[in-house]
């Protein structure tokens, strides 16, 4: 068998699965941001016709999956597996969406790293010959995340400048054996890294070491350099986290400056939108990839990117018990052409 595992944490896909189509839905605030025109649907109201934000989040995920299926002229029964997750306890959004979708589900939890975790596993399962078509999907919602992880919104707490704004949005990507790109060519799976950050309003600083670890490992394993990528884009480190990750990568011998950004930085305009350090939430990298990056790869404005969704495995319970925030980042290389 040809070598698929390269280095310590990376696999190379020998017949790289294609990303056939994507879909994205976002809330009103995300629709007003710099990428607003790229998303398939901008909700007028973040309740999306439901009677709770949690149900709205679940409906967004379901709609993202349904949209990507119909866009590819397929039916739900054609999809082998759904790889998905969200930030809510017990994956409430994904579980309820999957109940309606009736597609076999692998439930994932990687906090905001879930999109690249789902893309990586989908790609491996297809390349391994176990599935023809998989969907990777995640969602998040500002109002559900705030009340689950921080404070009731009704309190109107002031937000420090290091805080990030959880993206209201859902993205879905359909993967399969397909002639046209873009293709997932490599996956680097992260370890849990924890530098001792305890501030739930500074997730960027908490996640930056995990991002730097996975990105550095990816370059080591694939024997590539940052300049070989048109874009290296983390999930949601925000401004401060991006700078810390950049500094940490420098200590590993990698200069990532010009082509290194973050989905959380791209999605909002911090001056006009009062979003402080940037966007976050597992919907953030999901919609920035599904809505924006996929289109640039499709039209070949981008030819090779490293998408690195980053997750703070933050638990209110562990925080109350005095623990710091363990973090993880998973990376996938996405290329517009197959390079074998």
Q: What does the binding site for a copy of itself look like in residue numbers (CB under 8 A)?
A: 1-2, 4-5, 8-9, 11, 51-52, 54-55, 77, 80-81, 85, 88-92, 95-96, 98-99, 102-111, 117, 121, 124-125, 127-132, 148, 189-194, 313-318, 321, 323, 326, 328
- Considering the complex, state which of residue 302 and residue 312 has its C-beta at the smaller distance from a copy of itself: 312
Question: Smallest distance from the beta carbon of 317 to a copy of itself, in angstroms?
Answer: 6
Closest approach of a copy of itself to the CB of residue 176, in Å: 13
Q: How many CA atoms lie within 13 A of 310 on its CB side?
A: 35
- Give 12 or 304: the residue with its C-beta nearer to a copy of itself: 12
Q: Position of tokens 């209201």?
A: 168
**What count of other Cβ atoms lies within 10 Å of the Cβ of residue 149?**
18
Rounded-to-integer distance, Cα 54 and Cα 64, Å: 16
In 18-54, which positions are buried (b, 16+ CB within 10 angstroms) versus exposed (e)? bbbbbbbbbbebbbebebeebbbbbbeebbbeeeebb
Compare residues 37 and 52 and give the one whose CB is closer to a copy of itself.
52
Minimum gap (Å) between residue 158 Cβ and a copy of itself: 25
Six token digits for residue 187 = 């996956």
The tokens describing 209, both together, are 């070491």
**15 or 70, CB closer to a copy of itself?**
15
Nearer to a copy of itself, 144 or 202 (CB): 144
Cβ proximity to a copy of itself: between 72 and 88 the closer is 88
- Do the beta carbons of residue 112 and residue 87 sit within 8 Å? yes
**In the complex, what is the shortest distance from the CB of residue 27 to a copy of itself, in angstroms, rounded to a whole number?**
19
Residue 143 CB, nearest distance to a copy of itself (Å)? 13
C-alpha to C-alpha distance for 282 and 267, rounded to whole angstroms = 13
CB of 193 to a copy of itself, least distance (A): 8
Of 255, 68, 271, 79, give the one whose Cα is nearest residue 170.
68
Tell me how far, at minimum, the Cβ of 81 lies from a copy of itself, in Å: 6
What does DSSP say about strands 169-176 and 18-26: parallel, antiparallel, or unpaired? antiparallel
Q: Where are the alpha helices (DSSP H) in 25-91?
A: 28-31, 53-71
Task: Closer to a copy of itself by CB, 99 or 258: give it.
Answer: 99
* Of the candidates 167, 139, 172, the residue with the CA atom closest to the CA atom of residue 66: 172
Phi, psi (degrees; rounded to nearest 5) at 311: -125, 130
Of 85, 5, 33, residue with least CA distance to 279:
33
Comparing CB distances to a copy of itself, the nearer of 208 and 302 is 208
């Amino acid at each position: 068998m040809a070598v698929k595992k390269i280095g310590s944490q990376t696999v190379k896909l020998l017949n790289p699965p294609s990303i056939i189509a994507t879909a994205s839905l976002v809330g009103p605030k995300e629709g007003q941001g710099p990428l607003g025109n790229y998303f398939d649907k901008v909700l007028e109201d973040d309740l999306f016709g439901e009677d709770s934000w949690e149900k709205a989040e679940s409906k967004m995920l379901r709609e993202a999956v349904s949209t990507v299926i119909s866009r590819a002229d397929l039916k739900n029964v054609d999809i082998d597996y759904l790889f998905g997750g969200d930030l809510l306890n017990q994956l409430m959004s994904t579980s309820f969406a999957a109940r309606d979708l009736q597609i076999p589900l692998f439930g994932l939890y990687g906090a905001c790293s879930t999109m690249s975790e789902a893309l990586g596993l989908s790609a491996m399962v297809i390349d391994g010959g176990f599935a023809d078509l998989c969907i990777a999907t995640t969602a998040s919602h500002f109002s559900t995340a705030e009340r689950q992880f921080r404070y009731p919104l009704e309190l109107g707490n002031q937000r420090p400048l290091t805080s990030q704004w959880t993206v209201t949005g859902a993205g879905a990507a359909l993967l399969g054996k397909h002639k046209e790109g873009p293709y997932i060519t490599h996956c680097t799976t992260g370890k849990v890294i924890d530098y001792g950050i305890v501030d739930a309003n500074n997730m960027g600083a908490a996640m930056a070491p995990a991002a730097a670890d996975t990105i550095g490992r990816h370059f080591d394993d694939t024997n590539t350099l940052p300049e070989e990528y048109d874009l290296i884009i983390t999930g949601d480190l925000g401004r401060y986290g991006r700078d810390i990750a950049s500094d940490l990568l420098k200590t590993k011998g990698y200069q990532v400056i010009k082509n290194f950004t973050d989905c959380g930085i791209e999605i909002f305009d911090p001056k006009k939108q009062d979003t402080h350090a940037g966007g976050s939430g597992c919907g953030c990298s999901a919609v920035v990839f599904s809505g924006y990056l996929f289109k640039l790869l499709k039209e070949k404005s981008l030819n090779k990117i490293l998408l690195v969704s980053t997750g703070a495995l933050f638990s209110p319970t562990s925080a109350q018990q005095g623990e710091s925030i363990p973090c993880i980042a998973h990376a996938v290389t996405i290329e517009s052409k197959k390079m074998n």
